[in-house]
Amino acid sequence: MTWAYRSPGWLPGGNLQTIYAAKLATAQSLPDAAWQRERWPTPDGDFVDVDWVNRDLTGPRPLLVLFHGLEGSSSSHYSQSFAAQAKQRGWRMALPHFRGCSGEINLAPRAYHSGDFQEIDWMLQQCQQLHQGPLLAAGISLGGNALLRWAGEAGHAAHHMIQGAASVCAPLDLTASGQAMGQGFNRWVYTRMFLQTMKPRALEKLVQYPSLFDRDALLAAHTLYAFDNVFTAPLHGFKDTDDYWLRASAKPVLADIRVPALVLNARNDPFVPAWCLPRANEVSNCVTLWQPQTGGHVGFPAGPFPAHVDAMPCAVLDWLQTTLP
């Protein structure tokens, strides 16, 4: 199965396709009441907030677990569209928020990061305990990298947890993506946007733990590299940004994946340079690569003006459905 995506002719270029999808395109949004929130206590005394769709449905129907991207949540345009697609199919869906992303600051002296496969494993275990039917997992951008990192680490054991996995626009080579985000338009637009929320959240952690990191160094950070050097890397056990980006990248473990996995990346994604995308000889036989020429970063707008962003989630769920027994 393949997906022959083509971007609308009136919306050229990866940046336009990225920004339009996130800010202007129509999605099958859900009313607030459609999400049901549940709080899970974590083993380290913290909590994770999980938003559900079709939470109360019973029977052997699939459960889709969606892992959001950097600074994402259940309000993100892709989350809304995946939820709508799952609801239409009669699937249950769970969106576990990474630490601090649910609208309430978390408690532990940590946040979240691109390679946190241990957190993915714990979240999937909770879902497995709460659901009797087949489990499917999808990850967007950062969440996709973390999910594939988990799948590679788990190897054959992943079969005991999920039927299939899908990543969308994951930065599989974090060094390549990090360098791209630190230059030109990416730095002045996307990086600035991310840091507008990342810095305040980090400063909230400093109120909880006054000696956690250097406040002045954080305020002086104007790139993701600098931010990760001060905050993300040391809080999560990495020596520095270079060590974090190297060890957290999923690309080196794609050959170790032993569960059906879809890896979708647009070749004009401004966050993920096309030259660093995996080739067929770098992944296991369980991995399917979709690399359309266009789509941007978690964009993939479709249709005449005004475009919608439902085509990609629909294609991804169609693929995941082929992994079901």
Residues marked as catalytic: 141, 269, 297
Query: Residue holding tokens 């054991």?
Result: 157
Task: Name the residue among 64, 103, 90 with its Cα closest to residue 316.
Answer: 64
What residues contact residue 233 under an 8 Å CB cut-off, 6+ apart? 239, 240, 241, 243, 244
Continuous H helices in the chain: 14-23, 77-89, 117-130, 142-154, 174-181, 184-185, 192-208, 215-219, 224-227, 233-235, 241-248, 311-321
Nearest-angstrom CA–CA distance, 164 and 261: 6
Task: Name the residue among 255, 271, 54, 84 with its Cα closest to residue 263.
Answer: 255
**Cβ(94)–Cβ(166) under 8 Å?**
no
Give the 3-state secondary structure of residue 3.
coil
Task: Name the residue among 117, 231, 217, 240 with its Cα closest to residue 167.
Answer: 117
Nearest-angstrom CA–CA distance, 14 and 296: 4
